[in-house]
Chains A and B, each alone.
Chain A
Amino acid sequence: NAGVTQTPKFRILKIGQSMTLQCTQDMNHNYMYWYRQDPGMGLKLIYYSVGAGITDKGEVPNGYNVSRSTTEDFPLRLELAAPSQTSVYFCASTSRDRGNEQFFGPGTRLTVL
């Protein structure tokens, strides 16, 4: 199993541009999450999903959108990028039969200039 994969690893955006961060897991997990990590701060939940077709907001959803059309994929869309969205983004997944232990992707480092 590849686990949780994220693309791209790094990206620089200009203010106002849009992009999609990709996240895929091959463990058949029903729960998936997007977090952002700012320097010196704890991980913050952006959006999460409890299954295909179901998504919900986390603590810091403004400026982002998600979709979950399949169990495997959970893309995060940034519309109109702003410097405040400069961060490292992590995708994670879990399922109840794993005791809800979360498995993390390698992260995407995004800079908005």
Chain B
Amino acid sequence: KNEVEQSPQNLTAQEGEFITINCSYSVGISALHWLQQHPGGGIVSLFMLSSGKKKHGRLIATINIQEKHSSLHITASHPRDSAVYICAVSLKETSGSRLTFGEGTQLTVNP
């Protein structure tokens, strides 16, 4: 079993819909990261959080440490949001701020 599980693996939405991607982890963490991988392959960091909630534009990330669960929400989705969204965790008691990654969620937003 992976230490980081994402759901769903694939998600198709219509433009304007509210989208939720979930991430569960099974170990103690110091932080959780949400990353976006564009169709061209580049990876960018969206959020890093260790508690509560963060918002950037139409993207919102939440984390519940007790339940070992995080969600990434996209409001008013747009075709340009189509990408792979990756959840990753920094494990406690590991050196070098290493990340353990989920397998990603492929999001397609249709016009």
Q: Which A residues lie at the B interface, using CB under 8 A?
A: 31, 33, 40-45, 48-50, 56, 58, 88, 90, 92, 94, 96, 99-104, 106-107, 109
Task: Indicate whether A100 sits within 8 Å of B48 (C-beta atoms), given known contacts A42-B102, A43-B86.
Answer: yes
A and B contact pairs by CB, cutoff 8 A, 28 listed: A31-B97, A33-B98, A33-B99, A41-B103, A42-B2, A42-B101, A42-B103, A42-B104, A43-B99, A43-B101, A44-B101, A48-B98, A50-B95, A50-B96, A56-B96, A90-B43, A92-B43, A94-B97, A96-B97, A99-B48, A100-B31, A103-B45, A104-B43, A104-B44, A104-B45, A106-B42, A107-B43, A109-B41
Shortest CB-to-CB span from A94 to chain B, Å, is: 6
Does B98 lie within 8 Å of A58, measured CB to CB?
yes
Does B96 lie within 8 Å of A42, measured CB to CB?
no
Does A102 lie within 8 Å of B33, measured CB to CB?
yes
Interchain CA distance A107-B23 in the complex, whole Å? 25
Q: Which 4 A-B pairs have the closest CB atoms?
A: A42-B101, A104-B43, A100-B97, A43-B101
Interface size on B, residues (CB 8 A): 22
Residue in B closest to A108 when the chains form the complex, CB atoms? B41
Cβ of B90 under 8 Å from chain A? yes
Interchain CA distance A103-B104 in the complex, whole Å? 18
Q: A102-B33, A106-B42, A107-B43 are in contact. List 17 more A-B contacts (CB 8 A).
A: A31-B96, A31-B97, A33-B99, A42-B4, A42-B101, A42-B103, A44-B101, A50-B95, A56-B96, A100-B31, A100-B97, A101-B33, A101-B45, A104-B43, A104-B45, A107-B41, A109-B41
